[in-house]
Amino acid sequence: RASQAAQARGWHLYLVGGAVRDLLLENDPSNQLMLHDIDLVVDGFHQSADVGAGVELARELQQIYQNSRLEIHGAFQTAALLWHKDPELDCLWVDIATARTEFYPYPAANPEVEASSIRQDLYRRDFTINAMALRLTSPHGGELLDFFGGLIDLRSRKIRVLHPNSFIEDPTRIYRGVRFAIRFGFAIEQRTAEYIHYAINSGVYDRTVQENIKTPALHTRLKAELKLILQAPYWQSALKLLDQLGALQCIHYTCNLNYGILRELVLLEKLLKIQDRFWQPAQQLPPTWLIRLEILISSLEPEYRSKVAENLQLSETSVNRLKKLEAAQVEINRELATCELASVIFNLLQKYDSGTLMLMAVKSSREIRRKIWYYWRDLVHVQPLLKGDDLKKMGYKPGPIFKQILDHLLIATLDGKIKTRTQAIELLT
């Protein structure tokens, strides 16, 4: 229907980007074809289509497919049709754009966009394997447009960038390249690797870190790429490759994957595996990709951590966690090192959220880790043996005293001094 509608207006319609790549990789066991994210591009027959063509086509399709939802993104004149109520969940997502070209006013800036031909539209893309188009309209429907050797690179399993300045224009392409390389088992082609080194050595990323006011969209994209990488099953290999390429410097110029961080990341995996058995819903951990990212950020000097987290637009909770981590570590190491009393461990650790405790667990000595674990497994569930109603029945008048009594009972229970309600009542009388 989309191609008929485009054709009726004298436009060509193309399937572009990842969907074409994945269709061509269909027989490749390393790739599971999942067409849930489809990019379509509209172009004129003899000259560029009007800049609003993609949006116009999307509006017409929405009339035909009324169970879809239309979203229009004004800045780049693109439209999306969604076939699911919740875009975070698995859904069919069709982006429709007018063929366009991009200009970067300065390195790592947000691109400025204008309408152009399908060839130029493909040339603005990241890698040859992502820069092919399949024509959906007649004449020549089904024709593959491959101006930059994408098919050869797909067959020879190479990630090749389209032009030398690509990574300077947009550093997130390094992360994308690594993600595709590891996901498909492709190699980063030699020149492409050189362009990455050149871009990193040029220092452009110091700017991206410092000038977050001018490049918030870049940081949004960087965070999105980090999230995709850190939640993928291949996250470890991807991080190692990013490190080899020096690309972790895009997060901060001092960021790298040293032995200590690797150890913490591996420890996190172990702790997460056994976590299910002990977890309380009230102590929901942050998502795993975020803990991994926070481990990476917390390996930086304390003064850089919260700034980096803010630049990456992490939540306020994350930023605060990273800001206070140093002090928390000092306190926990000092107080827990010599203490075995359950109530003291409980009182100390209950001040911290589960994300902080997990960071502490992977960063501390075995002894401290054991105590954090003891808190999660045995102490966090403990309740005072009596309730407010029991106290009323015993003749206490409701008020601040209730809390003091219940806290007192909780401490006695934690420390094993009382085990039953009768013992609790005896203690109070």
- Using CB under 6 A, list all residues that contact ligand ATP: 17-18, 37, 39, 125-126, 130-131, 170, 172-173, 176
Distance CA 121, CA 51 (A): 13
Short-list 242, 235, 212, 391, CA closest to 307? 212
Output the CA–CA distances (angstroms, integers) from residue 217 to 106, 111, 224, 235, 288, in the order listed: 14, 10, 10, 23, 24
Q: From the CB of residue 180, how many other CB atoms can be counted at a distance below 10 Å?
A: 19
Measured from the CB of residue 382, what is the shortest distance to ligand ATP in angstroms? Answer: 46
- Return the amino acid letter for 253: Y
Measured from the CB of residue 108, what is the shortest distance to ligand ATP in angstroms? Answer: 11
Distance CA 255, CA 260 (A): 12
Measured from the CB of residue 15, what is the shortest distance to ligand ATP in angstroms? Answer: 11
Find the residue with minimal CB distance to ligand ATP. Answer: 18
Measured from the CB of residue 122, what is the shortest distance to ligand ATP in angstroms? Answer: 8
Measured from the CB of residue 333, what is the shortest distance to ligand ATP in angstroms? Answer: 41
Measured from the CB of residue 336, what is the shortest distance to ligand ATP in angstroms? Answer: 43
Nearer to ligand ATP, 18 or 302 (CB): 18
Nearer to ligand ATP, 120 or 423 (CB): 120
Nearer to ligand ATP, 48 or 130 (CB): 130
Cβ-based neighbours of 148, under 8 Å, separated by 6 or more: 122, 123, 128, 131, 162
What own/partner pairs with CB < 8 Å and gap ≥ 24 does 264-268 have?
264/295, 264/299, 264/362, 264/363, 265/236, 265/239, 265/292, 265/295, 265/362, 267/361, 267/362, 268/292, 268/295, 268/358, 268/362
Q: Check residue 119 and report its DSSP letter.
A: H
Note the helical H segments in 185-301: 190-201, 204-210, 216-230, 235-244, 259-278, 288-298
Measured from the CB of residue 179, what is the shortest distance to ligand ATP in angstroms? Answer: 7
Distance CA 54, CA 96 (A): 5
Cβ-based neighbours of 105, under 8 Å, separated by 6 or more: 112
Here the tokens at position 324 are 């206070």
Nearer to ligand ATP, 131 or 295 (CB): 131
Nearer to ligand ATP, 172 or 329 (CB): 172
Nearer to ligand ATP, 124 or 363 (CB): 124
Nearer to ligand ATP, 18 or 388 (CB): 18
Nearer to ligand ATP, 95 or 243 (CB): 95
Nearer to ligand ATP, 126 or 146 (CB): 126
Residue corresponding to tokens 């027959």: 45
Distance CA 45, CA 135 (A): 12
Omega prior to 171 cis, within 30 of 0: no
Measured from the CB of residue 388, what is the shortest distance to ligand ATP in angstroms? Answer: 54
Nearer to ligand ATP, 37 or 331 (CB): 37
Measured from the CB of residue 168, what is the shortest distance to ligand ATP in angstroms? Answer: 12
3-state DSSP call for residue 72? strand
Measured from the CB of residue 34, what is the shortest distance to ligand ATP in angstroms? Answer: 8
